[in-house]
Structure 1
C-alpha cells in the first residue's frame, strides 16, 4: 500500500460535499458512506501492511504523502460537522497525525540538500499544504461548534502556514519542471494538486472569513480570493500537459495516483462555489456545477479502474495458488 492511499478518501469526501452543495443529495450520501467506510478500512489495512514492511519515515516522499490521512480526516470532518462525535474524533486524529508528520517531515527534509529536494519534488509534495489547509478548516469547525473564539485565530495561523508551505513546495516543483524543460513525459496526475492546494486554501480562508471580523476578516477574504485566482490560472497549463500526456503508452492504466487528480477537481468546484456566495458572480455557479460533474465522472472512472484492477489481482492470486495450477501434460 502506498503512503498516499488515503487520497481515495479525500477525493470521495470532497466530491460528496460538492454534490451536496449542488443538490445531488443521493449521490452525496452514497459517497459520504463510502468515504466514512473507506477511512478506517484503509487505515487498518495500512497498519497491517506497514507492520510487515515498515515505511521509511526518513524519506520525505513517504512522510509528505502520508498527509493524505490528515486531509482525508479534514474533508470528512467538514462533511460530518453536524455530528459531534464524528467532528471531535476526526479533529483529534487530524491534529495528532498532523503534528507527528510535521516533525517527521522536517527531519526528513533537513537531512537532504536543496538540489536533491528539487530533483525529487513532485505534485504530491503539495500534500502538506493540502493537509494543513484541511486542519485550518477543522479548527474553524471546532470554533463554530464550541463558540471558543481563540480557535479561530489558531485556524488563521494554520491557514497562513498552509500557504507558506505551498509556496516553498511550488518553488521546488517549478524549478525541477524548468530544468526538465517541461517535458510532458514527466507529467503525472498528482500535478493537479498544484491547483488543488490553492483550491482548499480558498475554502479554508472563506470559512475563517465568515466567522471573523475586523482586519482578520479582510485578510482572509482577500487571501481566499487570491488563492482562487491563482488556482484558476493553473488550469490551462495542467490541461495542456494532461492532453499531451494522453499520448503516452498505457497512460490510462489504473494507478492509485489518479485519485490525486479527482480531489483537486472536486475541490475547485467547491472553491468556485464559495466565491459565488461571496461575490455574487452568477457565471461562477455554472463553473462550479461543471467541475462538480467532471469530478463525479472522474470519480466513477477511477473507481471503476480500481475495481477492475483489484478483480484482476484477486483472479491472478487464485490462479497462482498451488491447488489451482494445471498439471503439465506428460
Structure 2
C-alpha cells in the first residue's frame, strides 16, 4: 500500500524510473502478502477490532496498486474486483467485532490504524472513478468520508479520555492524516468524471476542505511524533505519499502552481521515509527467517 502510493506520487512528478520500480515491487509483493495473510487468518481473533479493521489494508493495497496501473483497464478491473470482494468480506467482520463494545468500549480501543476502514473505502471510490462508474464512485467517496469522521471522533475521544495510552503514539497515528488525504484524491478523481454543475462544484469544494484538514493534521502529528518518539514504519510512509499525491491533485483542481512545489517536497520526504523503512526491513529479514526456522 505504501509502496503503491509513493509510486503514484513519483509518477505525478515525472520520476518514471522510480515510479516503475516501486510499482513492480508493489505488484510482486502484493500476492506474497496475500498468501502470508491467508496463512495467518486462522490464528487471528476476529472478535478484536484491532484485528478486523487492520484487514482493510488488503482492500486499500489492491485499490492503490490498481489506481497506479489504471491505464491497463483489465488490471484495474481485476484489482478493483479483488478490492470490493475484500471490502464486502471484511466489513461484516469489522462490524461484528465492534458492535458488542458500544461507544465507550470503542473509545477505549480506538487508534490511528482504525482509519484503514476509511482509507480502503475511499480507495474503492478511486477505483470506481477510474472505471467511469459514477454512482458507485460517489457512494464510496461519501461513505469513506463518513467512516473517517466516525473513526477520527473515536480516536479524539480516546485522546481526551486517556492521552497517555501507548496505542495512540504508534506509527499508525499518521493514518489520521492519510485517511483524509486519500479522500481528497478520491474527490479529485470523482470530480474529473462529473459533468459541470452544482454537484461537481460541491465535490470540488469538499475536496478542497479535506485537503485543508489533511494539512492541519501535519503539525499536530509532527508534534506527537517528536514529543512521544513515534517510530517510522510503513503506516507512516503511506500518509506522506498520499499527501503528496493529494496535493498534486489539488494543483490540477485549482491550477495553483505552489501546490506542485508542496507536493514535490512531500514526495521526496515520503520516498526518503520509504527507503529508511525498506532498509530496516531488509536488515531484519535474516532474524525473521531465523525465528521462522526455529518455530518449525
TM-score range relative to shorter protein: over 0.9
Does residue 13 in structure 1 map to residue 15 in structure 2? Answer: no
Which residue of the partner structure matches residue 273 of structure 1? 248
- Inter-CA distance 321–171: structure 2 relative to 1 (3 Å threshold): closer
Alpha-carbon offset, residue 85 of structure 1: 2.5
Alpha-carbon offset, residue 184 of structure 1: 7.8
Residues 233-278 of structure 1, C-alpha deviations (whole Å, 9 max, x = no match): 00111000111123xxxx65x7xxx111000000000111011111
> What is the TM-score normalised by the length of structure 2?
0.94
Alpha-carbon offset, residue 302 of structure 1: 0.5
Point out the more displaced range, 35-44 or 214-223. 214-223
Alpha-carbon offset, residue 83 of structure 1: 1.3
Does residue 35 in structure 1 map to residue 26 in structure 2? Answer: yes
Alpha-carbon offset, residue 84 of structure 1: 2.5
- 2-structure distance, mates of 1:153, 1:25: 32
Does residue 308 in structure 1 map to residue 295 in structure 2? Answer: no
Please say if residues 112 and 168 of structure 2, whose CA atoms lie closer than 8 Å, have aligned partners that are also in contact: no
Q: For 1:286, which of 261, 282, 288 is the aligned residue? A: 261
Which residue of the partner structure matches residue 111 of structure 2? 122
Secondary structure of the 1:58 match is coil
Alpha-carbon offset, residue 186 of structure 1: 4.3
Q: For 2:170, which of 188, 192, 202 is the aligned residue? A: 188
Alpha-carbon offset, residue 116 of structure 1: 1.1
Residues 169-212 of structure 1, C-alpha deviations (whole Å, 9 max, x = no match): 11100011112246788411111111001100000001111110
- 1-structure distance, mates of 2:257, 2:91: 40
- The number of residues matched between the two structures is 295
Q: For 1:263, which of 220, 226, 238 is the aligned residue? A: 238
Secondary structure of the 2:101 match is coil
Secondary structure of the 1:104 match is helix
Does residue 165 in structure 1 map to residue 147 in structure 2? Answer: yes
Gaps of 5+ in 2: none
Secondary structure of the 2:266 match is helix
Secondary structure of the 1:99 match is helix
- 2-structure distance, mates of 1:133, 1:82: 20
> What is the TM-score normalised by the length of structure 1?
0.85
Alpha-carbon offset, residue 134 of structure 1: 0.2
Secondary structure of the 2:108 match is helix
- 2-structure distance, mates of 1:66, 1:260: 14
Q: For 2:202, which of 204, 213, 219 is the aligned residue? A: 219
RMSD between superposed Cα atoms in Å: 1.9
Please say if residues 185 and 245 of structure 1, whose CA atoms lie closer than 8 Å, have aligned partners that are also in contact: no
- Inter-CA distance 158–313: structure 2 relative to 1 (3 Å threshold): closer
- Inter-CA distance 202–185: structure 2 relative to 1 (3 Å threshold): closer
- 1-structure distance, mates of 2:164, 2:193: 41
Q: For 2:217, which of 229, 234, 237 is the aligned residue? A: 234
- 1-structure distance, mates of 2:45, 2:165: 29
Alpha-carbon offset, residue 67 of structure 1: 0.5
Which residue of the partner structure matches residue 110 of structure 1? 99
Secondary structure of the 2:45 match is coil
